[in-house]
């Protein structure tokens, strides 16, 4: 069975500082993709970053980077230079060789001015 665990229900970060959102996963599939989505208060789901299980390098997209540690089955999201607009729910997700994607419970990030 596939499972995604986000252990931080809520996180606070000071504006302009970096923050790490934790995500661990469990799968027996040899190939899989890891994803992070942002859900602002307006409700839409916004794709942030993708990491393939065979990618040698950690994924980066602007201020977002994914700290991928395959042996530990972790895929933490790092947001550098936090902005007020980063305040949102963040979901970690994984899609293995099956048909659908599994989501974690989410982490609510609040950026303080």
Partner 1 sequence: NAGVTQTPKFRILKIGQSMTLQCTQDMNHNYMYWYRQDPGMGLKLIYYSVGAGITDKGEVPNGYNVSRSTTEDFPLRLELAAPSQTSVYFCASSYSNLGSADYGYTFGSGTRLTVV
Q: Which is nearer to partner 1, 40 or 69 (CB)?
A: 40
Q: State the nearest-atom distance from the C-beta of 92 to partner 1, in Å.
A: 10
Q: Which is nearer to partner 1, 75 or 93 (CB)?
A: 93
CA–CA separation, 20 and 4 (whole Å): 16
| HSE, side-chain direction, 13 A CA sphere, residue 12 | 3
57 binds partner 1 (CB under 8 A): no
Pairing of β 46-52 and β 10-14:
unpaired
* Token code pair at residue 81: 């230079």
* Token code pair at residue 51: 């990491």
Among 7, 16, 17, 45, binds partner 1 (CB under 8 A): 45
Residues in the site for partner 1, rule: CB under 8 A?
A: 31-33, 35, 37, 43-45, 47, 50, 52, 54, 91, 93, 95, 97, 99-101, 103-106
């Amino acid at each position: 069975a596939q499972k995604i665990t986000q252990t931080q229900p809520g996180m606070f970060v000071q504006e302009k500082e970096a923050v790490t959102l934790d995500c661990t996963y469990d799968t027996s599939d040899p190939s899989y993709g890891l994803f992070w989505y942002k859900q602002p208060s307006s409700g839409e789901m916004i794709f942030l970053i993708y990491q393939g299980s065979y990618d040698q390098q950690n994924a980066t997209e602007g201020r977002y980077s994914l700290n991928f540690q395959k042996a530990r089955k972790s895929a933490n999201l790092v947001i550098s230079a936090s902005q007020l607009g980063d305040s949102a729910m963040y979901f970690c997700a994984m899609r293995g060789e099956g048909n659908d994607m599994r989501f974690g419970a989410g982490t609510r990030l609040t950026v303080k001015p």
